[in-house]
Structure formats: C-alpha cells, structure tokens
Amino acid sequence: MKKLLLLSLIGLALSQLVFGHNGEEKLRDQLARLQHRLLVAQGLQDSMTQLKSLDKHFDGNRCCIDEVTGGISNMKKSEANLTKELERLEHERWRKRTIEGLQLRIEMTERKMQTAYKKDKKQEGDNLKAHVADLVKQLSKLLN
C-alpha cells in the first residue's frame, strides 16, 4: 500500500514538471489572443467581401480575399486545438485533485483502523480495513 502511495506521489510530481504551475493560464491567454485575432480577421473578411462586390472584375481582390479566408480557417483550427488542450488540462487537474483526496481518505481511514485495533475493536478495524481496500482500488483505477 505504501508503494502505491509512493508511486502516486511520484506521478503527481512528474505531472507538475510536465505541465508546470501556470500551463493552463498560458493556454487561456493564447486562446484569448487567438479569439481576438479571429474577430479582427472576420472583420477583414467582411470588408473584403464588400470590396469584392464593388469590383467584380478586378482579380487582385480575389487573391487577397482568399488569403484572408485561409488565415481565418487556420485561426479557427488553432482555436479548436487550444480548446481541446485546455479541456485536457482541466480533466488532468480534476484527476489530480481526486487522487489527492483519495490519498487523504486512505491515510485517515488507516489511522482510524489502527486506533480501532489498538482498542481491541476487531470488527470495526476489519470494516475500516475493507474500506481502505476499496479506496485503494479507486485510486489504482485513477492512476492507470
């Protein structure tokens, strides 16, 4: 059981190294900047559409419009990717908090179990031992 707790703590430490403390904030900032650029680009696209309607015979405008449209499409793809990454990070944060909560519950229940055995309350100690086993199963599912 101590090995499982040690492995989970190592996993948490590695996740902190990989994602850092403010990785989620950086992604949110990036997403906000990208959304702003998208609004500007959509405004440009609207302007280009109006320009295109005024001058249907000039092919130079068509080239610019296609470039702006392609840029907007790329920005939308980037926004979708950032949104997915943000959702993944939020799920990882929830998972981490759940693991920490289970670890704390395991520790507290083990203490109660040891106290019960010391006071010769075998039945209560056995019940707590079974509860610890259930908590460890839940924790191992989250860690896998």
Cβ proximity of 52 and 96 under 8 Å:
no
Three-state DSSP string of 18-46? HHCCCHHHHHHHHHHHHHHHHHHHHHHHH
Cβ proximity of 82 and 55 under 8 Å:
no
> pLDDT of 114-134, one tens digit each?
888 888 888 888 888 899 899
Say yes or no to pLDDT of 26 above 70: no
How would residue 49 be classed by pLDDT, with cut points 50, 70 and 90? confident
pLDDT for 90: 92
Give this prediction's pTM: 0.46
> pLDDT of 55-93, one tens digit each?
665 655 566 667 777 778 888 888 888 889 989 999 989
DSSP state of 144: -
Rg over CA atoms, the chain:
28
Say yes or no to pLDDT of 96 above 80: yes
Q: CA dist 91 to 57, 84, 88, 96, Å?
A: 53, 11, 5, 9
Q: Residue 75 and residue 79: Cα distance in Å, rounded?
A: 6
Q: Residue 69 and residue 89: Cα distance in Å, rounded?
A: 30
Q: Residue 134 and residue 132: Cα distance in Å, rounded?
A: 5
